[in-house]
Amino acid sequence: MKRIMIVLALASGAMSVHAQNLSLGPTVGFGHAWTSSDNGGVNGRFHPSYNLGGKLVYSFVSHWGISADVKFSSEGETLGADNDNKTVYRANYIRVPLQGIYFFGDYGNKVRPKISAGPSLGFLVGGESSVYTNGNQTNVVKTKDYLNSFDFGLTGAVGMNIRVAKATWLNADIAYYHGLTDVVDNASAKNRNIGVNVGILFPIGTVK
């Protein structure tokens, strides 16, 4: 009986620690997207990308953790000589990045720099490709009609977590995505994007 009580106490303590180290919260981001294609020599232009969704982080020891995001991510590419004569490819994905995280400093620190990396899965859900001539939209095609429905690549990020309340963290990072699969079957073109992400993480469970 005594052994059973000890096991139950240890299990209860482990569950409490696990709950303390699990955080969930919203995240948003903004940046620039493009593809690896040379585009036949056509100039690439700034293409605004953005994302919003949620992040789950589990920190199993003081310096290490893992995270999983589920977010809507608007990507693609803009090509053309100027703003009046260009082609805008807009590809919208549901992205699921999975990352390992290394936290610098100690848990008690108010500011903790971090680095992270891992795979990212992308599921195409929509978007349009538009051609502009002399400032007028002359052609529109649904992106799902010609892009591959699945995208896979690697994500790396550097940033920091800032404690704003007990076990509640404001997190910010600069992230780069490097696609490994072609977005279309008949050309070598892989997704790329870089941006700034900001979010806030709230603890799940009882925090001591």
Can you give the residue range of the structural domain that contains 14? 2-203
Whether 101 is covered by a domain: the verdict is yes
Q: Find out whether 208 and 189 touch, Cβ atoms under 8 Å.
A: no
Whether 89 is covered by a domain: the verdict is yes
Structural domain total, the chain: 1
Tens of pLDDT, residue by residue over 38-87, are: 776 778 899 999 999 999 999 888 899 999 999 999 999 999 988 889 99
Whether 67 is covered by a domain: the verdict is yes
Give me the amino acid identity at 126. Answer: G
* Mean pLDDT value across residues 153-182: 97
In this structure, what CATH number is given to the domain that contains residue 166?
A: 2.40.160.20
H or E element, residue 16: helix 2-20
Whether 192 is covered by a domain: the verdict is yes
Whether 19 is covered by a domain: the verdict is yes
Tens of pLDDT, residue by residue over 83-125, are: 889 999 999 999 999 999 999 998 889 999 999 999 999 999 9
Q: Which residues contact 158 (CB under 8 A, 6 or more apart)?
A: 113, 114, 115, 173, 174
Q: Find out whether 103 and 112 touch, Cβ atoms under 8 Å.
A: yes
Whether 104 is covered by a domain: the verdict is yes
What distance in Å separates the CA atoms of residue 87 and residue 191, rounded to the nearest whole number?
16
Whether 163 is covered by a domain: the verdict is yes
Q: Is the per-residue pLDDT at 158 higher than 90?
A: yes
